[in-house]
């Protein structure tokens, strides 16, 4: 239930911020990507493969200086890990990044923190003699990305998200996600 309240809270912040910026320079749009995720750390599954997932959501950004923008997003993301013997471990989040975006001509760089709210945790992960299945509800990550403007409203982006917080108390296990995606500016 806490997760639902957090999602509603952040969605309201997005809408309120957007309405407050009506007269200024802002953009909003939709985005989607293919994710290559894994669980990393000392307690991660040995010999794991990257799991292929996807994400989709909304973004908005606000011009704060000539080449700088502040971008917020609400994105649902399917992540996890894959092991040839034990199968796939699906973990999904509603990710809410806050990014500083620097643009130069048709290129951009982005950097910033992200909070992820766990929505799906299917399967159990066996690491040695431990069974992992109760991940923390909140996940903190750092993002770095680069992108290119393909056409007037279309963008291609590459982003790496690295977990800052452990997914379980007492275990060194974090998310790592590389994504390749497209975004389309609506306004």
- Looking at residue 113, its pLDDT comes to 97
Structure-token pair, residue 57: 């959501």
Q: Which CATH class is domain 2-185?
A: mainly beta
> What's the rounded Cα separation, in Å, for the pair 50 and 59?
26
Q: Select the more confidently predicted residue: 125 or 41.
A: 41
pLDDT at 126 over 70: no
Kindly indicate the confidence band of residue 21, based on its pLDDT and cuts at 50, 70 and 90: very low
pLDDT > 70 fraction of the chain, expressed in percent and rounded: 75
Task: Answer yes or no: are the C-beta atoms of 111 and 131 closer than 8 Å.
Answer: no
pLDDT at 152: 92
For residues 12-40, give the mean pLDDT: 74
Q: Taking residues 31-59, report their average pLDDT.
A: 86
Can you give the residue ranges of every domain in the chain? Answer: 2-185
Does pLDDT of 115 surpass 60?
yes
90 class by beta-carbon count within 10 Å (0-12 exposed, 13-18 middle, 19+ buried): middle
Give the model's confidence band at 48: pLDDT under 50 very low, under 70 low, under 90 confident, else very high: low
| More confident: 40 or 145 | 145
pLDDT of residue 110: 98
Q: pLDDT grade, residue 76 (50/70/90)?
A: very high
Given this model, what pLDDT does residue 9 score? 54
**Residue 80, Cβ density class (10 Å: 0-12 exposed, 13-18 middle, ≥19 buried):** buried
The pLDDT score that the predictor gives to residue 23 is 47
Q: Which region among 51-55, 57-61, 88-92 has the lowest average model confidence (pLDDT)? A: 88-92
Average pLDDT, the chain: 83
The Cα–Cα gap between 143 and 181 comes to: 14
The Cα 27–Cα 59 span in angstroms is 8
Q: Judge whether 54 and 33 are in contact, CB under 8 Å.
A: yes
Q: How far is CA 122 from CA 12, 62, 81, 135, 165, in A?
A: 29, 37, 11, 10, 20
* pLDDT surpassing 70 at residue 128: no
The reported pLDDT for the residue numbered 39 is 84
């Amino acid at each position: 239930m806490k997760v639902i309240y957090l999602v509603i809270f952040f969605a309201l912040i997005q809408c309120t911020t957007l309405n407050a910026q009506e007269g200024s320079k802002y953009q909003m749009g939709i985005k989607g990507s293919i994710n290559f995720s894994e669980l990393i750390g000392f307690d991660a599954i040995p010999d794991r493969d990257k799991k292929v997932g996807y994400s989709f959501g909304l973004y908005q950004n606000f011009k704060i200086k000539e080449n700088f923008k502040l971008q917020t997003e609400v994105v649902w993301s399917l992540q996890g890990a894959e092991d040839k013997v034990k199968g796939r471990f699906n973990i999904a989040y509603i990710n809410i990044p806050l990014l500083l975006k620097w643009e130069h001509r048709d290129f951009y760089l982005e950097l910033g923190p992200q909070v992820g709210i766990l929505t799906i945790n299917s399967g159990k992960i066996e690491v040695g003699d431990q069974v992992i299945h109760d991940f923390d509800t909140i996940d903190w990550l750092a993002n770095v990305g680069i992108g290119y403007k393909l056409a007037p409203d279309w963008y291609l982006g590459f982003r790496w998200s690295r977990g800052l917080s452990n997914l379980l108390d007492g275990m060194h296990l974090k998310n790592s996600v590389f994504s390749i995606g497209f975004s389309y500016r609506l306004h």
